[in-house]
Amino acid sequence: MSVSHSISDARRSIPSWDELVRVLTLEEYNTRVVVLGVMALGTAAGLVGTFLLLRKRALTADALSHATLPGIAIAFMVMVSFGGDGKTLVGLLLGAFVFGCVGVLAILGIRHTTRLKDDAAIGIVLSVLFGLGLCLLRIATELPNGSAAGLSGFIFGKAASMVASDAMTMGMVALGTAIVTAVLRKEWTLLCFDEKFGEVQGWPVLWLDVVLMVLVATVTVIALQSVGLVLAVAMLIIPAASARYWTTKITSMLIASALIGCMSGWLGAVGSALIPRMPTGPVIVLICGFWFVFSFIVGPNEGLLIRQVSRVRLNRRIALQHILRSMWEVCEDNNKSEFALESIVHVRSWNKRTVLKLLRYCAKKNYVTSLPTNAWRLTEKGKAEASRVVRNHRLWEVYLITYADIAPTHVDRDADMIEHVLGRDLVQKLEALLDSKTIPLSPHPIGASE
């Protein structure tokens, strides 16, 4: 038996096991409708939001969602004037869709007919239409023949009022979005990454853009009842932005974005059902935000953790290559395989602690061995690796002198900065130039004889 909660009761209790099972298995009708509806919405928003993000039109979606408010108010007043109660959901959503399209056209008009940038155009349309919507909403509440109670729910969303027809509408929109995305995936990908090339090739760029924005408007409109016009942009952008940290392929990004949107809708609806008086829309957006933060930190594609690990590895590899070159230079000057720590300090201008730490790291990799006389000696493995590093450095000198017109007296410093990114094909070309011995190298290169 479910437990009723008083409106004035602000206490929060831990859901029982029976309540958790009942919500997860979707036993209750209202829970089933809300969960399935917002899951379909999250899937549709994730798919279309991917192309919206790649088109760099996140704020356009925000303006579109705010532009729907005057459409809702006008649709209500029109239906009341014809003798209805004004609460027909289809009519309200139709008005929202029309004014959403009007907002998009207004942004495009300002962008193409004035010198204002995109951000200014979006800010103007968003603020003006939202202000108009608030004024019209106030007028609607004072109509004598109809009650405007509940229209404000479109601002912040009211998923609890969803019925089966709403969930079916969201499911149909999600299915339609998936079909259109599958058909136009290549064309929209071209639109996102090289619009000018598409125009030159004769693609209907304008119509492709129109279809995309109509789909965005459709998804935004069906999101009004669940998350509201204020948070609708979050459902369109956050799943796609989160998926961007997991893949670089458009198909994989579409799938990941749809899954993140779907899972966010499911978790948000379940969490709202388990916690009394917790609004569904904001909880869904918070779950989306959690997925974004998680992706931002641990995502394999430019995630924060991956970037830090890669930076540490790169710095360690560069330092290792520098000290190998330094050891080879000192050994070459002395014509020996042994060297003292102070000689490396003198060559690299590093402190003794850094040099000693790197030498110990080289010893772990079996590049050097320490001697009882406090000296160090390159092993055969170390000589081979140092020889390879030095040769790469000399190849960069060849490249800079040949193609970058760098003076031989300055080329060593520039080569030292970029020698760690040689590709295999470039190495082969530079080795051919180096073996020809037609390029003057720096007077004192850090290198070995061939």
Q: Which fold has domain 17-299?
A: ABC transporter involved in vitamin B12 uptake, BtuC (1.10.3470)
Axis-axis angle for helices 380-403, 424-436 (nearest 10): 80
Contacts of 434 (CB under 8 A, 6+ apart): 391, 394, 395, 398
CA 78 and chain centroid, separation? 42
The per-residue DSSP string of 28-54 comes to SHHHHHHHHHHHHHHHHHHHHHHHHHH
State the pLDDT at residue 443: 44
Q: Where are the alpha helices (DSSP H) in 201-348?
A: 205-243, 250-274, 280-298, 304-334, 341-348
The pTM for the full model equals 0.74
H or E stretch covering 195: helix 195-200
Strands across the sheet with 375-378, in order?
Answer: 338-340, 375-378, 368-370
The reply to whether 17-299 and 309-436 are identical in fold is: no
In CATH, the number for domain 309-436 is: 1.10.10.10
Residue 389 and residue 322: Cα distance in Å, rounded?
Answer: 8
- Tens of pLDDT, residue by residue over 218-229, are 888 888 777 777
Work out the mean pLDDT of the chain and round it to a whole number. 79
pLDDT in tens, 355-404: 888 888 898 989 999 888 778 888 889 888 888 888 777 777 777 777 76
Map out the domains of the chain as residue ranges.
17-299, 309-436
Are the beta carbons of 40 and 223 closer than 8 angstroms?
no
The pLDDT assigned to 447 comes to 38
Residue in 222, 293, 299 with CA at minimum distance from that of residue 48? 222
